[in-house]
Amino acid sequence: MFAHVRSSALLILIGLVSATDLFAAERIWDSDLKRYLTDEETNHAEVFMSEEDAVKTVLPKSQRIRKDVIRLTQEKKNLIEQQIGWKFPETAFELYIGETGDKVDGYAMIHNTIGKHKHMTYMVGVDATGVCSDVELLVYREARGSDVGKKRFNAQYEGKTVSDPIRIHKDIINISGATMSVRSISAGVKRVLVLVDEFYLKPAGMGSDTVAAKKSEQGIFGSIFGN
């Protein structure tokens, strides 16, 4: 009888320890704050705009907007990862294409990349020539660092192309206390630019390879004729 009681007590103790471990695993430790995040901080979500409003903001003049899906083969995925310098799990991406008449005005893609602890949702706009035209933050889920959603910060991505580093301390100014979020958005912008370049611009003869070839030709002719 006592052995049965001891066994039951041991099982209860193991259950309590397991439950405690599970609870601890669900909590998020912040190395900068040196404490676990509170429930309020963990569940924080600051909504800046809806996806619909973001599309209208990024592609304001298009007569029509359609959705398309980019599907990556393993070979293409490896190529994209090599170009952007980091690996990612996604093999498909949805994007909006703005059109007027028979011309493409630009592209807009929703991205979800992780900041310090949780994912951010934002939209990256790319014009018809492959230049970043806008970055709009939709939802920010960290308790700190939402300044990445302000225009005075994300305006620095405008004008960037696949040939730019798009990295902190190179061509992107950091925000103190939001370094991981800045790195995350920067990596996301780079990925969108590369995806648009590879799947839309290069097949149309307007990609980064064509631009590089034209610059090379101009350099050769300039050296020959002294221009």
138-150 per-position pLDDT tens digit: 999 887 778 999 9
162-197 per-position pLDDT tens digit: 999 999 999 999 998 889 899 999 999 999 999 999
pLDDT band at 220; cut points 50, 70, 90: very low
Shared domain check, 203 and 106: yes
Shared domain check, 185 and 158: yes
Shared domain check, 11 and 98: no
In a domain, 225, yes or no: no
In a domain, 226, yes or no: no
Shared domain check, 12 and 123: no
Shared domain check, 114 and 87: yes
Shared domain check, 140 and 87: yes
Question: Mean pLDDT across the chain, nearest whole number?
Answer: 84
In a domain, 88, yes or no: yes
How would you list the strands of the sheet with 103-114, edge to edge? 46-47, 132-140, 119-127, 103-114, 92-100, 64-71
Shared domain check, 123 and 56: yes
Shared domain check, 22 and 102: no
- Contact indicator for 198, 70 with CB cutoff of 8 Å: no
Shared domain check, 149 and 182: yes
Question: What's the whole-number mean pLDDT along residues 71-94?
Answer: 96
At residue 224, the pLDDT reads 53
114: pLDDT strictly greater than 60: yes
State percent of the chain over pLDDT 90: 64
Shared domain check, 168 and 87: yes
DSSP E strand boundaries for 63-201: 64-71, 92-100, 103-114, 119-127, 132-140
In a domain, 222, yes or no: no
Task: Judge if pTM exceeds 0.85.
Answer: no
At residue 41, the pLDDT reads 66
pLDDT band at 119; cut points 50, 70, 90: confident
Shared domain check, 101 and 20: no
Domain count of the fold of the chain: 2
Shared domain check, 20 and 124: no
Least confident of 16-25, 65-74, 154-163: 16-25
pLDDT band at 222; cut points 50, 70, 90: low
98-107 per-position pLDDT tens digit: 999 999 999 9
Please state, in angstroms and as integers, the Cα–Cα distance from residue 199 to each residue in 33, 46, 105, 146, 155, following that order.
Answer: 42, 33, 16, 32, 25
At residue 219, the pLDDT reads 56
- Which structural domain, as residue segments, surrounds residue 67? 45-215
